Structure 1
Amino acid sequence: MERLLKTMKIGINEKIYLKDPESSDLGKRILEHSINLINEIGFENFTFRKLGTLIGSNESSIYRYFENKHKLLLYLSSWYWGWLEYQLVLATNAITNPSEKLKKTIEIFTKKTEIDSSFPHINEVLLNRIIINEYSKSYLTKEVEQENKDGYFEIYKRLIERISQMITNVNADYKYPASLASTILEGSFHQYFLQEHFPSLTNCDENNTPSAYFNDLVFKSLK
């Protein structure tokens, strides 16, 4: 199993990139160091010129992989959702009880992220921080409808569908499975954002975790 995971590749919509960054050492360095740099200086201040200086490569070489930094953010976001999906499938595949499967799913999406050695060029902890702080910038654009039609958010939507189906399996009469699924996925990141930046706006902290909050919210809603 460990050998299989090390050869696994997260599938990303080919329209997001010009050249697959996973296909070369330079591409993997672009991913690795873009995560470090965006986490350090923020997406607004991030440029391909700064990234090129960091990795010792021409700015033009980065443009061979991504049309612009928006597409790079879409790629990193899609990779993260794909990685979460593979974590979810591994963790829940053998669970047959619908409630226990949903509880495990909530745990996967709300627990603190740890490094996954299967992907050495990706720092999942830093990428998680980017998703918490920057992900909304990937879809709060005027092009979002066309990008949605082009399948840029396919993995994210597939995750919502998976959670929604699990909710329905627990309570087939519940009227809002997709809404609750979206709340779990988006809300978990928002709670971590509030913890760090606006702690007075959340009850989640080291003792009252987002996992505990969402378990309480979800299963009370499904009664």
Structure 2
Amino acid sequence: MQTLLKNLKVEINDKLYVKDPESSDLGKRIISQSIEMIYDLGFEQFTFKKLGVSIKSNESSIYRYFENKHKLLLYLTSWYWSWLEYQLVLQTMIISSHKGKLVKAIEILTQEVIQDSNFSHINEVVLNKIVISEYSKSYLTKEVDVENKEGYFAIYKRLVLRLKDMIIEVHPDYMYPTSLSSMVIEGALHQHYLKDHFTAITDCSKKVTPTSYFLDLIDQLIITNGKQ
């Protein structure tokens, strides 16, 4: 598995960038530093001008890779979902039980992220925090339908459908597998955010993780009532 991950190249929709940032040292520095800066400043305060100063490069050089910071955010979140999808596929392919696959999938999709040494220029832990706090800004826009047709959210949607298929394998008669799948993935982000900022309206805490909550939910809704 580690060998597979080391040879992994995360594939992103090429419409999200002008030049592939993975193709050069400057591009990788743009990605690496933008993750740190978006986390530190917030997406609204982040600019290409500030990024250029930080990486000691002209602002114009960043535009040779990304048309604007919205496309950069879409790239970063797409990279994250693609990376998570690989974790899901590789860690569930060795499990024979449908129930076991589903439980492992829920754990992967809802747990706190740990650093992946296979991608030295990307801090997955910080990127995960960006996805938790900033991902909705990538699709809560007037252009979302056009961007959806362009395939900008294809990786995220594919991940939802993978989990949906696992739900159906355990409980074929469950009526809302797609809604449940998207709710788990999106809900995990929301519960992590509430745990850190609005503790009064969640049961998740330092002792009760979002993973515990969603495993219990899936157990009661799907596994206990499933046929597989």
TM bin, normalised by shorter chain, reads over 0.9
Deviation at 1:208, TM superposition (A): 1.4
Letter in 2 for 1:100: G
Deviation at 1:94, TM superposition (A): 1.0
> Aligned pair count?
223
Give 1:188's aligned residue: 188
Counterparts of 1:22-37 in structure 2, within 5 Å, are 22-37=22-37
Letter in 2 for 1:65: Y
Deviation at 1:112, TM superposition (A): 1.0
Q: Residue 195 of structure 1 contacts residue 202 of structure 1 at CA under 8 Å; is this kept in 2? A: yes
Deviation at 1:96, TM superposition (A): 1.5
Q: How far, CA to CA, are the matches of 1:109 and 1:169 in structure 2?
A: 18
Q: How far, CA to CA, are the matches of 1:174 and 1:157 in structure 2?
A: 20
Give 1:69's aligned residue: 69
Residue 12 in 1 paired to residue 6 in 2?
no
Give 2:126's aligned residue: 126
Give 1:89's aligned residue: 89
Deviation at 1:6, TM superposition (A): 2.2
TM-score under structure 2 length normalisation: 0.96
Gaps of 5+ in 2: none
Q: Supply the RMSD in Å over aligned alpha carbons.
A: 0.9
Gaps of 5+ in 1: none
Distance change (3 Å), C-alpha of 1:2 and 1:216: closer
Distance change (3 Å), C-alpha of 1:142 and 1:125: same
Give 1:143's aligned residue: 143
Which 4+ runs in 1 deviate beyond 2 A? 1-7
Q: How far, CA to CA, are the matches of 2:168 and 2:175 in structure 1?
A: 9
Q: Residue 180 of structure 1 contacts residue 218 of structure 1 at CA under 8 Å; is this kept in 2? A: no
Deviation at 1:7, TM superposition (A): 2.8
Letter in 2 for 1:134: E
The percentage of counterpart residues that share the same residue type is 61
Letter in 2 for 1:127: L
TM-score under structure 1 length normalisation: 0.98
Q: How far, CA to CA, are the matches of 1:102 and 1:2 in structure 2?
A: 22
